[in-house]
Amino acid sequence: MKIGISAIGKVSSQFKSPKELHFACERGRLAETESEIVLDERLSKGLAGIEDFSHIWVIYFLHDANRIEMKTHPGPPEIEGLPKVGVFASRSQYRPNHIALRLVELSKVESNKLHIKGLDAIDGTPVLDIKPFIPHFDKPENERIANWYKW
């Protein structure tokens, strides 16, 4: 099945290469990155009300990912001893569809620009969608994660 999807905007970031963002893999949401999402101006009316949220989900396309791994190391390479797991049990960029999801802090909205903190995306990354973080929708009460993800 083929699905067509278009970017709604792009990331504007100081990072030009995925290697420059290696630290964000380990730090997760705490990564001290600042960037902007520049939305297609025709879609800017869709941002009405987004400024009332502290955090948003960003769904984006990892356009520079250069391979697919069905089994992967689920953390930064320097963390040794982690088991190889299936790509769907990881947050690896080397996925069949190279789609990423990240919860980021929304700092400011200016016209068609969202100023955000914590995104691990390089300059020019296509943004597919944006959704507000809503605790009673997005935060489970009894979450469980694999022991090997507690690094």
- pLDDT, one tens digit per residue, over 4-31 is 999 999 999 988 877 766 665 665 556 6
Percent of the residues in the chain that have a pLDDT greater than 70, as a whole number: 91
The answer to whether the CB of 100 falls within 8 A of the CB of 118 is no
All residues at 6 or more sequence positions from 149 whose CB lies less than 8 Å from its CB, including other chains: 74, 75
The residue-averaged pLDDT of 49-58 equals: 97
Please determine, for residue 32, whether its predicted confidence score (pLDDT) is greater than 80.
no
Q: Rounded to an integer, what distance in angstroms lies between the CA atom of residue 115 and that of residue 50?
A: 12
Please determine, for residue 76, whether its predicted confidence score (pLDDT) is greater than 80.
no
Per mean pLDDT, which of 7-11, 84-88, 141-145 is the most reliable?
7-11
Backbone angles phi, psi at 102, to 5 degrees: -145, 135
The answer to whether domain 9-135 has CATH 2.40.30.70 is yes
Please determine, for residue 145, whether its predicted confidence score (pLDDT) is greater than 90.
no
pLDDT score for 125:
96
